[in-house]
Structure formats: C-alpha cells, structure tokens
Amino acid sequence: MLLLLAEILLLIFKTLYYICEDVYRLIVPPKKKSVAGEIVLITGAGHGIGKELAIGYASLGATVVCWDINEETNNQTMNDIKKMGIQSVYAYKCNVADREEVFAVAEKVKKEVGDVTILVNNAGIVVIKSFLNQSVDEIARVIDINVTAHFWTLKAFLPSMIEKDHGHIVALSSVAGLAGGPYGTVYCSSKFAVRGLMEAFSEELRRLSNGKSSIKFTTIYPGFVLTGFYKKAKIKYPRWLVREFLPQDVASSIIDAQRRNYENKTISINMPLFKILRLLPDKAFKSLVDFLDIGAYPED
C-alpha cells in the first residue's frame, strides 16, 4: 500500500510538472535545432506545401530528396532549388501508393544520397464528396495515398534511423483529422488514421527503447491551404477569424515545428482550446459546429 501511495504521489507530481512545463513552453518556445547536413525526404514535393518544404529545408542547409508521382513538377522543384545556387537536392519519381516502387526507389536513394534522417510524409489528396457518390476507386486511392503510403515509407527509412538512434518523422494530418465533417467521410477518416498511426509509432518506439530513443515524431494539422485541392472553402465568418493559408506559410510553420521537436502542431486553430471544446457534451459541440458552419463545398 505504501508503494502504491508513493507511485500515485509521483504520478501527481509528474502531471503537475508537465502541465507547468507546457505553460512555460507557451511563453518560451524550445530552441530550434539545426537541420544543416540532414538528409530530408519529402513526399509530394512537386506541388504546394511539399515544394515549399523542399525549398525551405534546402535554404537551411539540408540535403533534400524530392519524391512525387509527377516527374515533371518534381524536377521543376529540384531545378528551382538549384537556381538558388544549392546543389544538394535530388528528385525521384515515385508513386507512394505503390509498395514495391517505394521500396525500390528508397534503395536507390540510400545508394545515391545516403540514409534519410528526416522523413516528411506530405503527399496526400482531397476528395470532397458525399460518401455514396464516391466510387470505390476514389475511396481506395484516398486511403492508399493518405494512409497506407506512410507505412511503406516508414518501413523503408525507419530502420536506419533506429540503428543510428537519430531521425525525425513528420506527417501531415489535417484539422479534418481532429473532427469529422460532411462530405469528408473518406478524407477525414484518412487523416484521423494518420494521427493514430503517428501516436502509435511514437509510443511503441518509446516503450521498446525504455524512453531512450532520440527519434522524434511531429504530426501537423493544417486548416484550409490554397493548394488547389478543393474548389472553395465554406467560411461563414470574416477571414480574420478563419482564414486560408498560403503553402509557403504552412511549410514555414511545419519546419519550425520540426526544428522545435513539437509532437503536434495545428495551423489555423488552437489545439489546447480545441481539446477543451471536445470535452463539451456531443450535442453542445455539434451546436458549436453548426454555429461556425466551416467546411468545404462538395465537388458533387
């Protein structure tokens, strides 16, 4: 009983300490770590956020590896970086939804560039449709690219990170991965899955290493980003309350979050406030959602 009481008191102390630590970090953010010399692989680098991430990391002195299914736009990203006078950038055509292709191209990267130390699973697609109007092929494609591809890239690059006890995994979820919405049955499900995947991987590695692993995990939850994936955002209130972000702004926030070792980073909403709101009764939360009336107009 004394041992149990001691463990409970220790748990209370730790809880209070970590709450204070989080409050302190809201005032004094962690220092940014350098990414110079790191090998950063970015999926979906041919467009939008992925392209801006590639440019951002290259500007900070990292070796950048661009992956995209669109060879032309992917090479354009590489060439744009080289025009900046930076030569440590590579481009590989890769369909991240194809398991064998991911493993084959990953081996090529290891031989030609080296072991990836920062993996950014950015590639994703958006389908805003009512569920019954989505074809089985559309559903499979969203899940394959937005979720399953993460497993293949992790299988390809995580072992070398574990071996060297050095690395960082970044994954893009979405605010749609925090709360489901109409016309996003498949998309929201895929982004919820990314959130669970990252939490599970992080916790598994922590347990297997007895809390000694140096590999970091960062999950990003962007809001509306002007990448052309959706036709028009549905925003009831003025833009200052809920606004659309440019890809370069989001990329900058992602790099900042990775360099500060944040485990979670929301872009457009306040995560602590959101967690508090989710404690409301379901009907109260749904009333709040109806009041805000934020979403995207369906394609159908």
Tally the C-alpha atoms within 13 A of residue 78's C-alpha that lie toward its C-beta. Answer: 22
Q: Which helix (H) or strand (E) holds 219?
A: strand 216-222
Residue 86 CA: distances (Å) to CA of 55, 64, 71, 90, 220: 10, 10, 20, 11, 27
Place of tokens 């569920």: 131
CA distance 269 to 148: 27
Kindly list the catalytic residues. Answer: 187
Task: Indicate if the alpha-carbon torsion angle 84, 90, 95, 96 is positive or negative.
Answer: negative
CA distance 41 to 102: 12
Buried b (16+ CB within 10 A) or exposed e, 108-122: ebeeebeebbbbbbb
Pairing of strands 168-172, 118-121: parallel
